[in-house]
Structure 1
Amino acid sequence: DNDLDVMRRIDELFLRWPFLGSRRLMAVLAAEGVRVNRKRVQRLMRLMGIAALGPKPRTSKPSAGHRISMDRKGRWMDNVFIERLWRSLKYEDLYIKGYADGAELRAGLGQWFDFYNHQRPHMALDNRAPMAVWREAMVGVLPPTAVDMTLLLRRSLDNAAALPTSPQPQQQQVA
C-alpha cells in the first residue's frame, strides 16, 4: 500500500471518527487488510497535520481532599468500567457533536452505542469490537435455531430517529 492510498483512508476515517489516535487508526486499517505499523500511521498523520481530539494524559489531577468513588469499602474497581465508558462517550461523541435537543441526543446516542459495540476497536479485546468477540464465543453454544436479538435491536435503533419524541396532533376522522 502506497502512502497516498493510506493517507486517503486515514483522512476518511479521521473525518468520520476524529477521536481515533494512531493506535486505533492502525487497528482499523489492519482490520481492513492495510499493512501498516503505528509509526507509519503517526508519520502520515503528522504529514497531514491531523491529531486525535481528546484530552492529553493526566489533564485532571486530584486536588487536596479528593476521594475516589467506591460502592463498598475498598472496592474502587466497582466503578472503573462505567466511568471509562462514560469518558469514551463524552470525548468521542457528546463534546464533538454538541446536540441541539433531546431527540437529536437520543438518535446520536443510539448511533454511538451501535458504533461502540459493533465497529470500535477495543484494545482490551485485541482491537476487536465487543459484538465480534461475543459472537465468536457463542459459536457452538447457542442452538442453530437461536435468533440473534442483537440484530433485531440494531434494526430498531436504526429506526429510532423516525419515531416521534413528542405527542402528535390528532388526525380528523372521516365519517
Structure 2
Amino acid sequence: MVERGNAEINIKRQAALLSINRTSVYRPEKEHCESEVNVQIMHRIDEIYTKHPYFGYRRITCFLRDLGYEVNRKRVRRLMQLMGLEAIYPKPNLSKRLHAKYIRPYLLQGLTIDRPNQVWGIDITYIRMGNGFMYLFNIIDWYSRKIIDYELSNTLEKGFVLRCLKRAFSHCKPKIMNSDQGSHFTNADYLELLEKAEVKISMDGKGRATDNSRTERYFRSLKYECIFLNEFENPRALRKGIARYVHFYNHERPHASLEGAKPAQFYTHSVEQIAS
C-alpha cells in the first residue's frame, strides 16, 4: 500500500501510518519479481479465467498458445498458483487431510436470505495493473449486493484480509460469513476473529462456484466494467479507480436482481425498515 516517490508523505511517515516496519516496505517488490513477459501472460490468464473459471492450466495453456504465447503447462500452472487461481469444478477435497480442523460446513443450503447483514460473502481476486498486479479482498452483503468494504495488497499474506474484516466489524457484523476453503480462511487467526465477533462461519464446498456466486459475479462486473477498460499503471491509480467503481456500483448502478434499485439504496432502506 506504500507509494514510493510520493512528495507529500515520505516512506518513513507512510510506514508509521500503516503501523509497519520501514524495512519491510521493500518486501512487496521482491514478491513481484516476475518478468514483464510473465506479467503480461498473467494478465491474459486473468482475462481467460474470468470468462471461463472452469478452465484449468491445461486449457488455459492451449488458449495462450493460440494467442501466440510460447508457454508450457508447468509455467502456466506456476503463474496461476501465484495468482491464486484454481479451476472451479467438483473434485476430491484432498486439502481436508491437512486442514480438517479449520474447515467449516456450508450453511447456506436452502437458506432464505431476506435481510441485510444476514450473510456476507468474502473472496480474493487478482487485479492487473499496467506494470504489475495486486490482490483485492472484498466483502459483499448477499442480500443487497452492497460492497461493505475491500482492501488491496501487494502480496497474498493474510494480514490485509484480517485488517479489512476488523474495520468492517467496527461498523456492523453479519450473522453468517461465507468464504471458500482458501488458506486465508482456513487458519486459526481468521476463525478466532469471527468466533470472537460471534459470526457463524460458512465455507463453500471444494470447487463449487455456485456456493459463492454473488461474490464471483461482482468480480466479473468489476473486471469487465472497470479493470479491463483501463490501464491503471500503479497502485495509486488502481486504488482511485476501484474506489470510483465501488461508489458507482453501490450508489449509481441499477441491479437487475434488485428490480433496478441500487445496492446501497436497497441496503439502507432495508436496515431502516428493520430498525423501525
Place the TM-score, normalised by the shorter chain, in its bin: 0.3 to 0.5
Normalised by the length of structure 2, the TM-score is 0.27
Higher helix share: 1
Higher strand share: 2
Higher Rg:
1
